[in-house]
Amino acid sequence: MTQEHQFKSGFETRAIHAGYEPDAATGAVIPPIYATSTYKQDGVGGLRGGYEYSRSANPTRTALEGALASVEEGERGFAFASGLAAEDTIVRALTAPGQHAVIPDDAYGGTYRLFDKVEKVWGLDHSPAPVSDVDAVAAAIRPGRTRLVWVETPTNPLLNIGDIEALAAVAHDAGALLVVDNTFASPYLQQPLALGADVVVHSTTKYVGGHSDVVGGAVVVRDLELAERLTFHQNAMGAVAGPFDAFLTLRGLKTLHVRMDRHCDNAERVVEFLEADPRVAEVIYPGLPAHPGHQVAARQMKRFGGMVSFRVAGGEEQALAVCDRTQVFTLAESLGGIESLIEHPGRMTHASVAGTDLEVPSDLIRLSVGIENVEDLLADLDRALG
Ligand SMILES: *Cc1c(COP(=O)(O)O)cnc(C)c1O
């Protein structure tokens, strides 16, 4: 499919077909796992199909990268060994020592650690700002020095919403690039490039892969000069997705829209159940009209996603007990897979920010609502609430 054709066809068609034509030699409708490190040359420099060495490019990865570019409405996609490998490559490719980044004050913990312990040593310093407050993000920009405005929306675990269009305007006014970590929404629910972002990054470990069986990352851009730098750094730094991982991630991407609609259906039912339950003190979900980011989320997202956070009545002890008692919801970190997960951010994913401004309430529980039978999920929560 040509790029133009890709943009015109529906998301679901692109998720299934973009990036690959049935193999000319065999007719294989799904890209094979090209488990090869190198490629025979027809005479010195005579490459068949442009492949030379699998760090630089591999046909299974090429298929995934084409599909990622298409579903994010970008020009070029890049697949990495993990979300953090993708993030590190963005920073090295698009910034220089002495520059500065604004990052979410409730960034994914691994992202915060990367900026604070790795990129800072390299010479890129950072300031935190709340993504839901465009003025605060603007105020955190250091004129002439800020190169990246980096946001997540929705954020984790409080599901704060950033206005991508407004944040892009603020970043561009300052001569900076807007990077959006689109992991929580997935490309099905939100396309940041179409709203003015310059770079989209994903942990494809989550909704894109979708089956909790592979770790991966992705970057998508529209601008060809950014693409050229990312191409160089992807090869030069070498944190690429291997062909087996690329195969699994592409297999996941093909059903993203079907899974995501069910994640949203089930999450909406879970929210309705929790909202009506006196054992629950507060439900946090951008689909609720009372959520402070609801209007913005309704404008920029197709639906409100599969992540739900809530505070229990009864404090931390009760929150820990609920996490211990579920049987269908599995107690585990991570998110975005077919199976429902439950976790206690204060003691698990966000334990490292305890005692700082980023500390999360101790009675908070985070759910990654899966695609099991929803009545089973509601019964499990009902039982676990005691
Ligand atoms: C998991 C996650 C990452 C990191 O991705 P890995 O694949 O674990 O390296 C980055 N951002 C968000 C929002 C995540 O949830």
Instruction: Name the active-site residue from 34, 39, 108, 188.
Output: 108
Residue listed under structure tokens 């090429």: 62
Amino acid (1-letter code) at residue 358:
L
pLDDT tens digits along 52-105: 999 999 999 999 999 999 999 999 999 999 999 999 999 999 999 999 999 999
Contact between residue 352 and residue 358 where contact means Cβ atoms under 8 Å apart:
no
User: Is residue 373's pLDDT more than 50?
Assistant: yes
Q: pLDDT confidence of 4, banded at 50, 70, 90?
A: very low
Question: Is residue 357 annotated as part of the catalytic site, yes or no?
Answer: no
**Nearest residue to 297 (alpha-carbon basis) of 149, 165, 140, 136:** 165
Count the helices and strands in the chain (H runs, E runs): 15, 12
Question: Is residue 206 annotated as part of the catalytic site, yes or no?
Answer: yes
Give the angle 54-184-236 at the CA atoms, nearest 5°. Answer: 25
SS (H, E, C) 15-35: HHHCCCCCCCCCCCCCCCCCC
pLDDT of residue 6: 52
pLDDT tens digits along 302-313: 999 999 999 999
As a whole number of angstroms, the distance between CA 217 and CA 37 comes to 20
Contact between residue 310 and residue 365 where contact means Cβ atoms under 8 Å apart:
yes
Helix intervals (H) in 141-255: 164-173, 186-189, 224-237, 243-253
pLDDT of residue 50: 86
**Measured distance between the N- and C-terminal CA atoms of the chain, rounded to whole angstroms:** 54
Structural domains for the chain: 11-253 (3.40.640.10), 257-385 (3.90.1150.10)
**Nearest residue CA, atom 6 of ligand 1?**
83
Amino acid (1-letter code) at residue 271:
V
Question: Is residue 125 annotated as part of the catalytic site, yes or no?
Answer: no
Question: Is residue 285 annotated as part of the catalytic site, yes or no?
Answer: no
Contact between residue 334 and residue 212 where contact means Cβ atoms under 8 Å apart:
yes
Q: How far does residue 27's CA lie from ligand 1's centre (Å)?
A: 36
Residues with CB under 6 A from ligand 1: 82-84, 108, 110-111, 152, 156, 181, 183-184, 203, 205-206, 215, 217
Q: How far does residue 351's CA lie from ligand 1's centre (Å)?
A: 16
Contact between residue 238 and residue 57 where contact means Cβ atoms under 8 Å apart:
no
Contact between residue 365 and residue 322 where contact means Cβ atoms under 8 Å apart:
yes
Q: How far does residue 304's CA lie from ligand 1's centre (Å)?
A: 19
As a whole number of angstroms, the distance between CA 175 and CA 145 comes to 9
Amino acid (1-letter code) at residue 370:
G
Residue listed under structure tokens 């996609």: 77
Q: What pTM was computed for the model?
A: 0.96
pLDDT tens digits along 134-157: 999 999 999 999 999 999 999 999
Q: How far does residue 182's CA lie from ligand 1's centre (Å)?
A: 10
Instruction: Name the active-site residue from 105, 163, 181, 363.
Output: 181
Please report which helix (H) or strand (E) contains residue 179, including its range.
Answer: strand 177-181
Joined tokens for residue 362 = 């101790």
